[in-house]
């Protein structure tokens, strides 16, 4: 619930990308708001925040809601999800006493207890206090096989850009004279105890126009970073170029990886003598290597070895045989009209497939070689299920999480062939006894069948008067799946609101074809789908336009921004969070250049011709009737530039529309750097919706 929208992938530093800025349109009177941390911009932000605070925060009801949401976020009854590294199981935990969090560990035996004993590895609050810095923990990468040393990433305030420092988990100290990188968008990978692959900001020309590493080097311990040896370089216009080491015992290999664009990649096997061999796959395929096996997920059809494999399929072959020229693949999954492959997870000796059938998960276990498939025992028939390996180098055990809109998360430990054992379960944060989840389908403008989930009271009165919140994403082949949210339940469902999650095109609910149906010039299909769901809710008399609110963040912010300007007659309120909105400028702002394969290049006249049709900032007009709208973003968001929300709000406010604005100074591409900021963010959101739609 802390970050309801889905990220656009990776982050960069708090600077504009290296791409030469396009000349702004002369009518863009709000260009100055692109200065992220300039005093004039931040003064403007504080003034806009103050107006919103006066409107939304000045009641007892607001304060009670914020406290309620904070209590949920800080609850000690939350599931402490774990990952295994070596002999220990690690967890990152936030609560009232540790707002920035504790990185801690325990044993599996201890974890099974109702109240496990935890060993603190790194206290982020204490570190921040000692260093006078608002650190946000961004994870750690362990050195195999000892799992004593790791590379810890720390972000100031929540941006994706981070510093990297070598850390010893046994002494619980940063290694004196160890590997250390300054603030940047870095890619690092252990080769051995004294050697790293590293991609970072080495200086002019070392980053792509998207703001990611363009150059990969080998860095030896005890030598200056400037002396690191170049092993791989991409093009300036690539998304990124990196090198990484596969530490699997008995299968240690080094790879070079170049991404020309968001959905394409070239892979090379790097030999010890420095020579490289290309892995000959389609540019848009998604390969994965596990021990001796290469699996390939196809985005588009591939004709090879005398046959054609359908887009959306998963193929397998032994890696060494493939590199020797073999092209006789085993087909592990092939999509149908209603199915797609959501995920494929390796344990040491088995492969677990997570297949969606009309946006419902189905899990099967495959045995390599014969590829015999059997259902995974204990997987639920409804709701969302995710699986990850406990340790894919050591065992076939897996962790499984199940959830739906009304059922709190349950966390299991399993081994294929036996029923999984429940480890932890989330308590109910709201009363779901009178609620139900239903799935519906409605035709879009072109006749395509669009599914959506509805959460509402049993026996809902179909009179068009129910306050309803419609959520969606529709981009980057990311599926919108059922989830359990204490905030949604307490702030909206408990108060009689209806919640709807739409599975529109652009997402991954039906595989690559569903995504590709809304790429570039076809992007409006996603908006037509969302509008079709809104109309169907009104036709079924679940709600009516004046009672319908919509919400979306990131690419979902672009979605609701376009709904605002294209279909205002269908809507009663809009919540637009960390959005893209200025599609003329987006590719020149922070990570925007990396998304041109999704949207198009506004600097090419032919592509701007269609991009401008779904650029809300250019299409908002004076003299129209737009619903009340709330723009929300964060200063530290170094994926989607905060100027998208700033400029759109300023433009609409100056046109006299009913708009308000909130910008969190911290938080990155999420709702907050700590639980209190997150609670504040969502309390503002639901207070606005409650006031507007009742």
Please name the residue that has the structure tokens 């260093």. 131
Strands, DSSP E only, in 573-685? 573-577, 629-634, 659-664
3-state secondary structure of 664: strand
Single out the catalytic residue among 88, 138, 290, 669. Answer: 669
Distance between CA atoms of 421 and 408, rounded to whole angstroms? 17
Residues 6+ apart with CB under 8 A from 28: 585, 647
User: Distance of CA 214 to CAs 239, 510, 554, Å?
Assistant: 8, 33, 25
Is 615 a known active-site residue?
no
Q: Which helix (H) or strand (E) holds 680?
A: helix 675-693
Q: Which helix (H) or strand (E) holds 389?
A: strand 384-389
Here the tokens at position 690 are: 């409650």
Torsion of the alpha carbons at 406, 409, 410 and 412, rounded to the nearest 10: 140
For the chain, the distance separating the N- and C-terminal CA atoms, rounded to the nearest angstrom, is 23
Residues 6+ apart with CB under 8 A from 693: 467, 468, 469, 497, 546, 547, 548, 549, 572, 573
Distance between CA atoms of 341 and 185, rounded to whole angstroms? 31
Single out the catalytic residue among 554, 587, 594, 615. Answer: 554
**Helices marked H in 587-631:** 596-599, 605-611, 616-619
Q: Which helix (H) or strand (E) holds 253?
A: strand 253-261
Please name the residue that has the structure tokens 């207070």. 687
Here the tokens at position 464 are: 């068009």
Distance between CA atoms of 299 and 519, rounded to whole angstroms? 13
Q: What is the 3-state secondary structure (H, E, C) of 463-526?
A: CCCCCEEEECCCCCCCCCCCCCCHHHHHHHHCCCCEEEEECCCCCCCCCHHHHHCCCHHHCHHH
The burial class, CB within 10 Å (0-12 / 13-18 / 19+), for 316 is buried
CA dihedral over 548, 554, 558, 564, signed as positive or negative? positive
Is 98 a known active-site residue?
no
CA dihedral over 666, 671, 673, 678, signed as positive or negative? positive
Q: Which helix (H) or strand (E) holds 684?
A: helix 675-693
Cis upstream peptide for 145 (omega within 30°): yes
Residues 6+ apart with CB under 8 A from 610: 520, 521, 523, 600
Distance between CA atoms of 183 and 115, rounded to whole angstroms? 37
The burial class, CB within 10 Å (0-12 / 13-18 / 19+), for 624 is exposed
Distance between CA atoms of 255 and 269, rounded to whole angstroms? 5
Active site residues: 554, 669
């Amino acid at each position: 619930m802390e970050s309801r929208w889905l990220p656009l992938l990776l982050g960069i530093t708090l600077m504009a990308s290296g791409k030469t800025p396009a000349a702004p349109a002369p009518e863009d009177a709000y260009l100055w708001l692109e200065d992220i941390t300039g005093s004039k911009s931040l003064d403007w932000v504080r003034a806009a925040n103050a107006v919103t605070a006066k409107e939304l925060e000045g009641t007892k009801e607001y304060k009670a809601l914020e406290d309620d949401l904070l209590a949920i976020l800080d609850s000690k009854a939350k599931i402490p999800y774990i990952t295994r590294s070596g002999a220990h199981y690690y967890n990152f935990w936030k609560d009232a006493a540790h707002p920035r969090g504790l990185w801690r560990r325990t044993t599996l035996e201890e974890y099974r207890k109702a109240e496990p004993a935890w060993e603190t590895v790194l206290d982020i609050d204490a570190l921040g206090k000692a260093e006078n810095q608002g650190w946000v923990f961004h994870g750690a990468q362990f050195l195999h096989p000892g799992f004593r040393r790791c590379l810890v990433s720390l972000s100031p305030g929540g941006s994706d850009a981070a510093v990297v420092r070598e850390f010893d988990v046994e002494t619980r100290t940063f290694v004196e004279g160890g590997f250390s990188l300054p603030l940047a968008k870095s890619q690092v990978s252990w080769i051995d105890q004294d050697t790293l692959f590293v991609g970072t900001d080495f200086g002019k020309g070392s980053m792509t126009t998207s703001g990611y590493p363009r150059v990969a080097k080998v860095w030896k311990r005890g030598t200056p970073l400037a002396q690191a040896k170049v092993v791989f370089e991409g093009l300036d216009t690539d998304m990124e170029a990196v090198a990484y080491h596969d530490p699997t015992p008995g299968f240690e290999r080094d790879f070079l990886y170049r991404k020309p664009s968001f959905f394409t990649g070239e892979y090379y096997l790097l030999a010890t003598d420095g020579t490289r061999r290309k892995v000959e796959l389609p540019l848009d395929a998604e390969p994965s290597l596990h021990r001796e096996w290469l699996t390939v997920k196809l985005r588009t059809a591939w004709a090879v070895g005398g046959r054609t494999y359908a887009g959306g399929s998963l193929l397998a072959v032994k890696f060494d045989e493939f590199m020797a020229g073999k092209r006789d693949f085993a087909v592990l999954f092939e999509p149908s009209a209603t199915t797609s492959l959501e995920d494929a997870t390796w344990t040491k000796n088995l492969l677990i497939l997570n297949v969606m059938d009309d946006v419902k998960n189905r899990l099967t276990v495959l045995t390599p070689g014969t590829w015999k498939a059997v259902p995974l025992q204990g997987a639920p028939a409804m709701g969302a299920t995710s699986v990850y390996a406990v340790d894919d180098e050591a065992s076939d055990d897996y962790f499984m999480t199940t959830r739906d809109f009304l059922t709190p998360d349950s966390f299991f430990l399993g081994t294929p062939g036996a029923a999984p054992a429940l480890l932890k379960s989330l308590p109910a944060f709201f009363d779901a006894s009178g609620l139900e989840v239903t799935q519906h389908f409605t035709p879009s403008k072109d006749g395509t069948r669009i599914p959506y989930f509805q959460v509402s009271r049993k026996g809902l009165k179909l009179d068009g008067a129910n306050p309803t919140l419609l959520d969606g994403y529709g981009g980057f082949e990311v599926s919108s799946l059922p989830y359990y949210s204490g905030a949604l339940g307490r702030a909206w469902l408990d108060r009689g609101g209806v919640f709807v999650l739409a599975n529109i095109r652009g997402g991954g609910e039906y595989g690559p074809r569903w995504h590709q149906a809304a790429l570039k010039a076809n992007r409006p299909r996603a908006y037509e789908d969302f509008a079709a769901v809104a109309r169907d809710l009104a036709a079924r008399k679940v709600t009516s336009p004046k009672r319908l609110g919509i919400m979306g963040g990131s690419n979902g912010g672009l979605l609701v921004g376009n709904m605002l300007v294209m279909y205002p007659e269908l809507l009663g309120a809009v919540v637009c969070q960390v959005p893209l909105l200025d599609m003329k400028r987006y590719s020149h702002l922070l990570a925007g250049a990396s998304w041109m394969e999704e949207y198009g290049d506004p600097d090419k006249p032919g592509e701007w011709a269609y991009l401008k049709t779904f650029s809300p900032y250019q299409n908002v007009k004076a003299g129209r009737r737009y619903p009340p709208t709330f723009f929300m973003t964060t200063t530290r968001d170094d994926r989607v530039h905060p100027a998208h929300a700033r400029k759109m709000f300023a433009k609409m406010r100056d046109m006299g529309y009913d708009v308000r604005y909130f910008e969190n100074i911290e938080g990155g591409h999420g709702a907050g750097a700590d639980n209190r900021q997150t609670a504040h963010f969502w309390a503002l959101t639901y207070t606005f919706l409650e006031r507007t739609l009742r």
